[in-house]
């Protein structure tokens, strides 16, 4: 596989963008990615949930690798900024399969990945997940691409252990994943300043949190030391909420107020050109 130098440059840029807070409004198709770029996003991240839902599949490692990579390819081709792909737990049962997924991600044009440690039923053992992160690192290094590997720790999403033990467990996992080659640590499910500060102090690489309604604003999170703020599936959820509201309104009251504020047809069509 031949990787263009322009793609390597985008990978290096993605690393550089973490020196200040990187805000990622996650996309799930080419148009949502173009809208994020048009709004000023310096990089685009995919949301595995949004991608799965758009393809008629439930989130949670139910999407097959090729379908996921096809969406990554479409999104990477639609924008000029770096793209980082949410690959769930790697679309594979073993480290070798994770490496194959990474090769596919790079072939699709992306320059970063999120890889999570939550299995179908529970968190993977630290050692097992570290091997998967290491496999991702080796696969990218073999192609001489500085892929940004963002290792996701699901301890807070799954409320693993009591609160005090949860922080210790999160930091232990983060340390193991960084030693295995992770460039960043993603801890979704936590935005309270006290815990975020403890995570920033305990993690030696850029920290990524997932924000949404009720979370501190970007400036506050940046002030705590957060390097990356993702919106996750929230943008897709908000878009689908409009679909439901508009459909219900038209089918019940026969009115169309939910469609007020829609983007102009010509604008959207222009972004597609």
Residue 159: the pLDDT is 84
Q: Is residue 44 situated within a structural domain?
A: yes
Q: Is residue 271 situated within a structural domain?
A: no
**Cα gap 205→221, rounded to integer Å:** 16
Helix (H) or strand (E) holding 148: strand 148-152
Q: Is residue 258 situated within a structural domain?
A: no
Task: Report pLDDT digits (tens) over 61-105.
Answer: 999 999 999 999 999 999 999 999 999 999 999 999 999 999 999
Residue 164: the pLDDT is 81
Q: Is residue 241 situated within a structural domain?
A: no
Q: Is residue 257 situated within a structural domain?
A: no
Per-residue CA distances from 185 to 34, 116, 150, 169 (Å)? 26, 10, 5, 13
Q: Is residue 16 situated within a structural domain?
A: yes
pLDDT band at 118 (very low <50, low <70, confident <90, very high): confident
**Residue appearing with tokens 């720790």:** 153
Which residues is 209 bridged to in the sheet? 229
Residue 162: the pLDDT is 84
Q: How many structural domains is the chain composed of?
A: 1
CATH assignment of the domain containing 159: 3.20.20.60
Task: Report pLDDT digits (tens) over 226-264.
Answer: 999 999 999 999 999 999 999 999 999 999 999 999 999
Per the structure block, which two tokens stand in for 30? Answer: 């080419």
Residue 163: the pLDDT is 81
Q: Is residue 141 situated within a structural domain?
A: yes
Domain that residue 217 falls in: 5-232
**Residue appearing with tokens 């467990």:** 169
- Answer yes or no: pTM beyond 0.85: yes
Q: At residue 194, what are phi and psi to the nearest 5 degrees?
A: -65, -50
Flag whether pLDDT at 122 surpasses 90: no
Mean pLDDT, residues 118-123 = 79
b/e per residue 47-67 (b: at least 16 CB within 10 A): bbbbbbbebeeebebebebee
Task: Report pLDDT digits (tens) over 140-166.
Answer: 999 999 999 999 999 999 886 788 899
* Burial of residue 97 (number of CB atoms within 10 Å: 0-12, 13-18, 19+): middle
Task: Report pLDDT digits (tens) over 160-214.
Answer: 678 889 999 999 999 999 999 999 999 999 999 999 999 999 999 999 999 999 9
Mean pLDDT, residues 51-67 = 95
Q: Is residue 251 situated within a structural domain?
A: no
């Amino acid at each position: 596989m031949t990787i263009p130098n322009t793609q390597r440059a985008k990978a290096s840029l993605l690393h550089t963008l973490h020196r200040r807070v990187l805000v990622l409004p996650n996309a799930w198709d080419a148009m949502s990615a173009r809208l994020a770029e048009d709004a000023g996003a310096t990089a685009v991240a995919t949301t595995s949930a949004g991608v799965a839902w758009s393809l008629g599949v439930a989130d949670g490692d139910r999407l097959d690798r090729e379908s996921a990579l096809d969406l990554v390819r479409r999104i990477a081709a639609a924008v000029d900024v770096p793209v980082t792909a949410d690959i769930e737990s790697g679309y594979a049962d073993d480290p070798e399969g994770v490496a194959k997924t990474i090769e596919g991600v790079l072939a699709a044009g992306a320059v970063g990945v999120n890889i999570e440690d939550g299995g179908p039923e529970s968190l993977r053992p630290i050692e097992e997940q570290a091997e998967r992160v290491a496999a991702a690192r080796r696969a990218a290094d073999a192609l001489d691409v500085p892929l940004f590997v963002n290792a996701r720790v699901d301890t807070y999403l799954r409320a693993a252990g009591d609160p005090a033990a949860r922080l210790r467990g999160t930091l232990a996992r983060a340390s193991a994943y960084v030693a295995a080659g992770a460039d960043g640590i993603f801890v979704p499910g936590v935005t309270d300043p006290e815990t975020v500060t403890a995570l920033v102090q305990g993690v030696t690489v850029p920290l990524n949190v997932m924000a949404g309604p009720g979370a501190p604003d970007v400036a506050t999170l940046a002030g705590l030391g957060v390097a990356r703020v993702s919106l996750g599936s929230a943008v897709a959820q908000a878009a689908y909420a409009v679909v439901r509201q508009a459909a219900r309104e038209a089918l019940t009251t026969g009115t169309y107020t939910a469609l007020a504020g829609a983007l102009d047809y010509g604008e959207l069509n222009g972004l597609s050109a």
